[in-house]
Amino acid sequence: MDNKRILIGFYGDDFSGTTATAETLTQSEVPTVIFTNPPSPSYLKRHFPRVRAVGILGTARTLSADVIKQALTPVFLVMESYRAPIYLYKVCSTFDSSVRVGNIGKAIELGREIFSPEFVPVLAAAPKLGRHTVFGNHFAAVGSGEIFRLDRHPSMSKHPVTPMQEADLCRHLAQQTELRIGLINILDINAGPARINSQIDKFVAAGLPIIFFDCISDKDLNTVCGTIFGRTSKIKPLFFVGSQELGYGLAAACNEAGLLPERDKMRLPDKVGTDKGPLLVLSGSCATVTGEQIRWARKNGFVDVAVDPRDLLDSDKQVAAKQKIVARALKALAKGHSVILHTAIGPQDDRIKTMEEMTAKLSLTDTEANETLGDELGDMARDIVGNSQVKRLVIAGGDTAGRIQQFLQIEALQVSKPIGIAAPLCYVYSKQPGLNGLEMAFKGGQIGSKDYLYQAQSARTAEFEELALGKL
């Protein structure tokens, strides 16, 4: 196979997971940039000649099923023009989705049409994050603590948009597509590549186009990625569906195949960097982990500003409410305090119920209400960043991030520094020149340690110009 310039093209169905995928690839020394709109091959060649992995920031997890194919088709067609050996549709490692919203089955159907893979492997696990699949059933930790079966998880089973009430991922996905589904279980994976290939042959011969893979450990992930890459990339491109940690396994497979010579690898600079001042946090997450992070930060010097979603949904109150919130945030930032704007602190917050009541009163769908809330948070983010010296921003909640970034006119992101796992700081390329070099982290609701926000505030990073991939 030719040494392709673009090795991996990936789309993320939410912003936090897409940046986490970029983090796994960057840590694996694969030069990576992620874009809000898919760049053409000629644009990449001119402006990012060293890039070997191209990501597209998406919001498919929040889209209704009837528009997902329409939204994804132009993206997948541009990605296919990269002629890469590997394509990845990144989904949340909790696999939250439904027939109505964030339908993964529709994305798989489209991926089969455009990329024409031999079959579609699906691996949802993310072992470093405590997400594991065993005999088709998915499990997820709360933070770094207790592990729950997905349908008993304290947050995911009660997700306000896509509650996960089925832990068997094959059964869950079968509700979203009529395509037949197989499973290669942990015993087959432990037996090694020969057994895995034998099982794949059996399923392909039987006409099953989707194959799930169990995964408990990093070793399992690397075994699956290496086996599938060695099998399919020589004859057809690989269209993989799964978690951000596939970046580690796919990068390892590329290295093993000699597709990423030493001269092409990217290494983050060792320089300590500089202090970036106070942090601005906008949280639209209802997750338990984010709630614990907000409480920790509040007890350790952060100024928190409670946002009542009802005020942002009510057109008569929107303007006055936003002005008050922005003024409080600017005042605290001017004094050197980090600031958190939040619409909930954990899944038990009363504001969740009152927002649901307001949504019903206004005859809005949940999607419409969440879009409005995200837009109003984005508007406030733009005002605060534009009228302060803020150099670093954290957006908590994968469904929130996609709306907020539009108000900051972000075009591309590049990892500047990992923080823990799956929520790195990234440099911003924006249509607003004054925002170039702003650092942002898109943090999923269930991601990060209790002191994550302090780590994001205190991290020291190199200057933006030192990492621009167009200059490497």
CATH of the domain at 362: 3.40.980.20
**Banded model confidence at residue 4, pLDDT cuts 50, 70, 90:** low
The mean per-residue pLDDT over the stretch 30-39 comes to: 95
Q: Residue 297: inside a domain, yes or no?
A: yes
Q: Which of 264, 288, 309 is the last residue of a domain?
A: 264
138 in the same domain as 53: yes
- Helices (H) and strands (E) counted in the chain, each on its own, are 16, 18
Q: Tokens standing for 145?
A: 């603590």
Candidates 329, 334, 322; CA nearest to 384 is: 329
pLDDT tens per residue across span 285-300:
999 999 999 999 999 9
Q: What is the CB neighbour count within 10 angstroms for residue 464?
A: 16
Q: Which of 234, 264, 294 is the last residue of a domain?
A: 264
Q: Which of 264, 290, 321 is the last residue of a domain?
A: 264
pLDDT at residue number 104: 98
**Banded model confidence at residue 405, pLDDT cuts 50, 70, 90:** confident
338 in the same domain as 203: no
234 in the same domain as 93: yes
Euclidean distance between CA atoms 213 and 211, whole angstroms: 7
The mean per-residue pLDDT over the stretch 425-429 comes to: 92
Say how many domains are in the chain: 2
Q: Check pLDDT > 50 for residue 2.
A: no
Provide the percentage of residues in the chain whose pLDDT is more than 90: 77
Q: Residue 273: inside a domain, yes or no?
A: no
Domain extent for 152: 8-264
**Banded model confidence at residue 264, pLDDT cuts 50, 70, 90:** confident
Print burial letters for 344-371: b (CB count within 10 Å at least 16), e (below 16). Answer: bbbbebebbeebeebbeeeeeebeebbb
Work out the mean pLDDT of the chain and round it to a whole number.
92
Q: How far is CA 52 from CA 189, 398, 414, in A?
A: 29, 25, 13
For the ranges 178-182, 216-220, 231-235, which has the lowest average pLDDT?
A: 231-235
346 in the same domain as 447: yes
Tell me which H or E stretch contains 248: helix 246-256
Q: Residue 269: inside a domain, yes or no?
A: no
pLDDT at residue number 33: 95
Tell me which H or E stretch contains 90: strand 86-90
Q: Residue 42: inside a domain, yes or no?
A: yes
Q: Residue 392: inside a domain, yes or no?
A: yes
- How do strand 339-342 and strand 280-283 relate by DSSP bridges? parallel
Q: Check pLDDT > 50 for residue 1.
A: no
- Supply the CATH number for residue 76's domain: 3.40.50.10840
Euclidean distance between CA atoms 443 and 341, whole angstroms: 14
289 in the same domain as 203: no
Measure CA 56 to chain center. Answer: 10
Q: Residue 219: inside a domain, yes or no?
A: yes
235 in the same domain as 121: yes
pLDDT at residue number 354: 96
267 Cβ contact partners less than 8 Å away, ≥ 6 residues apart: 29
Q: Which residue has better confidence, 233 or 366?
A: 366
Q: Residue 270: inside a domain, yes or no?
A: no
Euclidean distance between CA atoms 438 and 429, whole angstroms: 8
The mean per-residue pLDDT over the stretch 68-88 comes to: 97
Euclidean distance between CA atoms 204 and 121, whole angstroms: 11
pLDDT at residue number 472: 34
Q: Tokens standing for 338?
A: 């980090």
Angle at 247 between CA 241 and CA 252, to 5 degrees: 120
Q: Check pLDDT > 60 for residue 467.
A: no
pLDDT tens per residue across span 318-327:
999 999 999 9
Q: What is the CB neighbour count within 10 angstroms for residue 268?
A: 16
236 in the same domain as 293: no
Q: Tokens standing for 209?
A: 């186009």
pLDDT tens per residue across span 101-152:
999 999 999 999 999 999 999 999 999 999 999 999 999 998 778 999 999 9
